[in-house]
Amino acid sequence: MAWFRKPKTRLQATDRRDLPGDVWEKCPSCGEIIYREKLKENWNVCPECGHHMRLPATGYIGLLLDDGSFREYDRALRSGDPLGFTDLKPYRERLAAAERKSAHGEAVITGEGTMDGIPVCLGVMDFSFIGGSMGSVVGEKLARAGLRALEKRAPLLIVCASGGARMMEGIFSLMQMAKTSAVLAQLAEEGIPYVAILTDPTTGGVTASYAMLGDVNLAEPGALIGFAGPRVIEQTIKQELPEGFQTSEFLLEHGMLDQIVDRRRMKPDIVQLLRHMLGLPAPDEFALPSPAA
């Protein structure tokens, strides 16, 4: 037995930062206290450490499109309940609850607008709506956005954020993978650019369809991206996963992404890429000084 003993004193949290949630926000990565207005101006990226917090779907519309250019498609499309599905709760009730909480009625917003004047079609997924899960409406809205891109010959952008398939729609949720991929096959044949933007988290059926089919696949830093969820993998292989597994950085290293893009640079970076793919001259910031200037 030990004949001396270290007195056990409970550690005191000296800098507990409990804050009124409506004015200040604490960065979950570096712990910095950020004035909420400042965070909003910075598109929910921590000004201190660059950690990307989740940005709501509408945030991406403001981030990517020129002010006032957005025109929404298919705003009124709502999920049916094709299987009459009930688990611990009826699917209809889950849907109704999600619709009440959400401003847009489903897990994706689609529409068109311009990026530095370039017309684009856009889909933005909303993780807060039943985990961004892909059911019939997500598939249908994205497929229609793709068909409009085809019609207008405008590039298609999809901002992905999803836990995967909407199990409550059973096989129909699986079929949305085929449906969206079929539309992307048409865009590919017509030479219309498609840019996939992967945000935290992008997993399951979305990863195994349109998230990985971009002419360019971009991701935000530190996002969880994978086909199988980390817990499923751990249970299958019965060992712990390596540090940094299934992050954006891991996917870039393994050749699945073209670039990791800081959200604050996302618009100019995408415009630069689109201009290359569309055969347009370089954007102003990269252009040679014009002789007229």
CB closer to other proteins, 44 vs 209: 209
Q: Which one among 82, 221, 222, 268 touches other proteins, defined by CB under 8 A?
A: 82
Give me the least distance between CB of 35 and other proteins, in Å please: 38
Q: Does 255 bind other proteins (CB under 8 A)?
A: yes
CB closer to other proteins, 13 vs 171: 171
Asked whether the bond before 283 is cis by omega within 30 degrees of 0, the reply is no
* Rg for the chain, CA atoms, rounded: 22
Q: Does 150 bind other proteins (CB under 8 A)?
A: no
CB closer to other proteins, 42 vs 181: 181
Q: Does 215 bind other proteins (CB under 8 A)?
A: no
Q: Which one among 123, 126, 210, 263 touches other proteins, defined by CB under 8 A?
A: 210
The piece of 110-118, 121-129, 139-147, 285-293 that touches other proteins (CB under 8 A) is 139-147
- Contact yes or no for 122/154 (Cβ under 8 A): no
Backbone phi and psi for residue 126, each to the nearest 5 degrees, phi listed first: -120, 105
Q: Which one among 110, 162, 246, 248 touches other proteins, defined by CB under 8 A?
A: 246
Instruction: Specify the 3-state DSSP secondary structure of 40.
Output: helix
List Cβ neighbours of 53 (8 Å cut-off, separation of 6 or more): 25, 27, 28, 39, 44, 45, 46
Per-residue 3-state assignment (H helix, E strand, C coil) for 163-202: CCECHHHHHHHHHHHHHHHHHHHHHHHHCCCEEEEEEEEE
Q: Which residues in this chain contact other proteins in the complex, by CB under 8 A?
A: 76-83, 85-88, 105, 135-137, 139-140, 143, 165, 167-179, 181-186, 188-189, 204-205, 207-213, 226-229, 232-233, 236-237, 241-242, 245-246, 250, 254-256
